[in-house]
Amino acid sequence: MPSKPLKFIDLFAGLGGFHLALQQLGCDCVFASEIKEDLRHLYELNFGISPAGDITQINPKEIPEHDILCAGFPCQPFSQAGYQQGFKDSKGRGNLFDNICAILEVKHPRYVLLENVSNLKGHDHGNTWKVIHKRLVDLNYHVYEPQILSPHQWGIPQHRRRIYIVCEHNDYWKDGNFEYPTPQKQKSNIKELIDTDDLDYLPLKQSTRLQLDVWEEFIKQTVAHGQKIPRFPIWAMEFGANYEYLDKAPAYQSIEKLRGKKGHLGMNIDGNTLSDCLECLPVYARTKTAETFPDWKKSYISRNREFYYNNKSWLDTWLKEIQDWENSHIKLEWNCGDEARPTLEDKIIQFRASGIRVKNPTFVPALNLVGTQIPIFPWVKLPNSDEKGRYMTRQEAAKVQGMNNLNFNGLTMGRSFEALGNAVNVDIVKKIAYNLLTRNQNS
């Protein structure tokens, strides 16, 4: 590492992922900003620095001189899970990149390290990236080709693809490319991060345990009747339905064509208006966005109906257990393949808006901004109890983000996971920064 500690600033600091990575490389943080008050308090508690607030209200001239600008600038405008509005985001989050550029224009630090969602480069058919690239080049920076990396590529048990952008000011840049860290084919072991003695966990509600038991019975019966667990999303609300969907979406059909058919969970479709009839259908079948369903939706409906008719003998009894469940709880995504043991007991489970997602216990899914989607470990024995199964703890989630022993004092469980879902991964940033800084230690 350079003999003289480099100075860095941490923008949109959150839990301080950039801070931890660069601090471990001997660099000094001279400024941080974070708009959320609770995260500012936590940042000061963990690092002894009180971040400034809203970056849009800070004069770039008042920011201390620094060698490295770090920013995991807001990703929601570019995320595939959001509205993908990019720079047109109505809340102004897409324009916060302008504030980064304003600082670069005044302070021209040697290095720039940026992180965002993997969708950034392809957003708006590549136009968003063209704008970002041009702005950085116009500010006299050499922009290395961005790379999409994930912790699981180094044996860290989390699948979290993010784009990393590295820049160097042309006053310093020399011929020869900086190289991103090379992914390794290392196996990950989820059990290495689990602390069975950690008492700071959310227990499973009895209703959640019941839902898992009912879906466990579904898997058991599927196998017992000689079937494979479907690889397509299981939409149980389609079981027993026979409304027409191939030529026209139900919202564009006549009332007469809908009446007398069966909809959600085999419910009879009836009503005096089209709206009344649509209310009898699965939620996804009520859409008015287009006159015909997309091919992928037709395929899922067709496959679910076929599965139902092949297993009607036992599914009709099973369906009685889920009559009153929320829409997202009667959908299941089995992401484990055909070779996995047909049970939920040794899988990682996540309750998502798209359904209950089941994955092999190799690595946890990317931590989500929604605190209610915390991964569940069904096999973990609870301390001082005969019961098994609990949500992932904050410290376990912090470990996969490289934030071991981070203090979460004052944050609720849901807020902690929201912040962790929005954080940059310390291990990846550290690898990138190490390659960049050691390459130039004598220049």
Query: Same domain, yes or no, for 161 and 13?
Result: yes
Tell me if 190 is assigned to some domain.
Answer: no
The pLDDT score that the predictor gives to residue 303 is 97
Name residue 116's beta-bridge partners: 163
Find where tokens 């929201």 sit: 418
- 339 CB neighbour count, 10 Å cutoff: 6
Same domain, 215 and 173: no
pLDDT of amino acid 389 = 92
Higher pLDDT, 4 or 52: 52
Whether residue 87 is predicted with pLDDT greater than 60 in this model: the reply is no
- Whether residue 394 is contained in a domain is answered as yes
Same domain, 124 and 236: no
**364-408 per-position pLDDT tens digit:** 777 765 556 889 999 999 888 888 999 999 999 999 899 988 999
Predicted pLDDT of residue 131 = 87
How confident is the model at residue 353, as a pLDDT? 86
Mean pLDDT of the chain: 89
Residue with the bigger pLDDT between 443 and 162: it is 162
Domains identified in the chain, total number: 2
Tell me, yes or no, whether 119 and 217 share the same domain. Answer: no
- 75 included as an active-site residue: yes
Q: 402, 421, 367, 400: which is closest to 17 by C-alpha?
A: 402
Q: What is the CATH number of the domain that holds 83?
A: 3.40.50.150
pLDDT class for 349, splitting at 50, 70, 90?
A: very high
Whether residues 252 and 103 share a domain: the answer is no
Q: Which residue has the higher pLDDT, 344 or 413?
A: 344
Check whether 114 has a pLDDT greater than 90.
yes
CA nearest to 149, candidates 166, 174, 167, 173: 166
| pLDDT at residue 93 greater than cutoff 60 | no
Confidence tier at 80 by pLDDT (50, 70, 90) = very low
Which band of pLDDT confidence, cut at 50, 70 and 90, is reported for residue 89? Answer: very low
H/E run at residue 116:
strand 111-117
Residues 119 and 261 reside in one and the same domain: no
Question: Is residue 358 one of the residues assigned to a domain?
Answer: yes
Token output for 134? 């041009």
Confidence grade of residue 81 (pLDDT, cut at 50, 70, 90): very low
**Catalytic residue selected from 75, 167, 280, 336:** 75
Q: Given pLDDT bands bounded at 50, 70 and 90, which one contains residue 440?
A: low
pLDDT (0 to 100) of residue 372: 64
At residue 130, the pLDDT reads: 87
The whole domain housing 339 covers 206-399
312, 296, 286, 301: which is closest to 237 by C-alpha? 301
Residues 261 and 220 in one domain: yes
Same domain, 332 and 357: yes
Q: Token pair for residue 3?
A: 């003999």
State residue 77's pLDDT score. 45
Q: pLDDT band at 176, cuts 50/70/90? A: low
- Is 185 exposed, middle or buried (CB count within 10 Å of its CB: 0-12, 13-18, 19+)? exposed
* φ/ψ of residue 253, rounded to 5: -100, 165
As given in the structure block, the two tokens for residue 90 are 């109505």
* Over residues 122-135, mean pLDDT: 84
Whether 419 and 392 share a structural domain: no
Same-domain pairing of 155 and 210: no
pLDDT at 61: 94
Query: How far is CA 240 from each of CA 243, 268, 301, 313, rounded to the nearest angstrom?
Result: 10, 10, 11, 12
Rg for the chain, CA atoms, rounded? 25
More confident residue, 173 or 237: 237
Reply yes or no on whether the pLDDT at 175 is more than 90: no
What does the alpha-carbon distance between residue 6 and residue 26 come to, in Å, rounded to a whole number? 8
More confident of the two residues 305 and 386: 305
250 lies in a domain? yes
Q: Do 61 and 33 fall into the same domain?
A: yes
Per-residue pLDDT averaged across 142-150, rounded?
Answer: 93
- pLDDT of 336 higher than 70: yes
